[in-house]
Amino acid sequence: MKSRQPLLYVDAAAGGSLENSLSPVALRSVGPGAADAIKRLWVLGGSDQAGSDRLPFERDRDRVFHSRQFRKLVGKTQLLIAPNRGDLRTRLTHTMEVYQVATSIARRFNLNVPAVEAIALGHDVGHTPFGHAGEEALNGKLSSIGGFHHAAHSVRSLDHLAYDSHIIGSERTCGLNLTFAVRQGILKHGWFSNGSTPYHLPPTEAHAWNLAGSGVGLSWSTEAQVVALADEIAYLNHDIEDLILYGVEKVLSPAAIRVFFDSYAQQHQHDGAADWKTTQEHFLNLLAENKALRVKRLVRDAIDASRDRMKPSYLPKSLPGNRIIDFSEPIRRTRNLFYAFFKECIYSDVRIKHKNELAKECILFLFDFFEKFFVGNLNMLPLHIQRELELKPPWWHEYFGKLRPSNSSPPAEDVNTDSSIACKLAAADLVADLTDREALETRDALNRAESGAGMEAIDRMLSTFPTERMMELTAERDHATTRALKGLFSFPV
């Protein structure tokens, strides 16, 4: 039998052929079923396709990796606001840990690794400053138009807020123009349990773009499931480690854990005694282990349990209703126990609660300021908001039309106009984009209006999401600079 010659170069055609060897449940860029997964909202620019051997999910990964939103994760809170040491996680280090775990699991199951990379890198780019405290503040402010969720805002951020001049020029969109499968995977990591859609998702008249679909358990790719599980593994591991480094060891004492166990057992008396004993043992083992063993134990359990679901006898029953990639049942119960423990014993710590309240006050102040600013300066609305307001795509009418009749507070006349919705969206987009430090500095600058710092802060914020006229002026300036440089060095213009 003649041996197959190794590939010395993988172009797009060869890359598509190599996908034939992927798992039957993997995403693909070519072949049957691939068309829906690789659809984009806008046609790719010709210059972006010319001379490129990348497949669609590879292009998505690269666009997310080089985006402004991804870089900003380095300055956003993961768990602890303003920590007392520099080696605790940020939103960026969390993302990279998710990326590492997800790609490792994906390779074990022969899935589409570039798709997993793109989803993992983009899954948290919509997070606000100050982590979930900031998210809760914006969710309250936007309750009249559907609320705020970081997973949904990650999709909105990548769809509308990248402001990459090259993509704006070639594809006529302010976003990254990612594929449907990657956008859906980023949304679905947020555990949406029903068909209700947060305010800023773009459900359109075409079913293919309704990312929420029929709920979290249905119609999401195996690659998206891998990232969702890797997200759990990453924060279960590093939340424990960071809390110990932060100094909550008293809460993790044997006596405190015993009190929590007794309380939890009373609330969940329906659980069997044997199952409860096993869950406690897993909990204590994970808590006591170092991070390397903890991650290894969680990944090993997920791989072994998921491998059983990959068997031909099980697979037909697992799609589309159930997850393939998941923990075993005992570890799922242990995960839920950790969730309850963090909520009851950790997040109630007076230091954490105090910082969270201060963070919420900052977010609320900034949102209120910029909402009022845009109400009085509609001409200053960012380009992506101007386009939404002018074009009013089908999702705008359909989604907000359904929300308006049910709004009772605040009064309908305050929330039901297109311009008021646009101002809320713009304020949320600006505030959610900030890092922790930018949020604090902007708040302080706005409170020093007499020094001129307030106007400087406003200009800095607006320069991130400029108007169409500002974009034109920037393009004219860049063109003039290029001509001057070429003339200086005697290059032909």
DSSP string, 237-263: HHHHHHHHHHT-TTTTSHHHHHHHHHH
Asked if pLDDT for residue 192 goes beyond 80, the answer is no
User: Greater confidence, 169 or 107?
Assistant: 107
CA–CA dist 237, 233 (Å, integer): 6
Q: What is the mean pLDDT of residues 261-272?
A: 79
Residue 152 in tokens:
């949904």
Phi-psi region of 326 (alpha: psi -120 to 50; beta: other; left: phi over 0): beta
pLDDT of residue 253: 79
Instruction: Choose between 197 and 449: higher pLDDT.
Output: 449
Cα separation of 156 and 126, whole Å?
8
pTM to 2 decimal places:
0.89
How far CA 27 is from CA of 55, 189, 363, in Å, comes to: 12, 17, 39
Report the alpha-carbon distance of residue 7 to residue 26 in Å, rounded. 22
Say what percent of the chain tops pLDDT 70: 79
Residue 272 clears pLDDT 50, i.e. is over it: yes
Partners of 179 in the beta sheet? 40
In order of 17, 157, 250, the CA distances from 403 in angstroms are 46, 22, 46
Dist CA 207 CA 47 (whole Å): 30
Q: Which residue type does 161 have? A: L
Mean pLDDT of 32-54: 80
Most confident of 167-171, 215-219, 254-258: 254-258
HSE of 89, CA atoms in CB hemisphere, 13 A: 22
Least confident of 200-209, 279-288, 352-361: 200-209
Between 40-49, 81-90, 442-451, 474-483, the lowest mean confidence (pLDDT) is in: 474-483
Gap between the Cα atoms of 383 and 235, Å rounded: 36
Rounded to an integer, what distance in angstroms lies between the CA atom of residue 405 and that of residue 392? 19
Helix 254-267 to helix 329-341 angle, to the nearest 10 degrees?
110
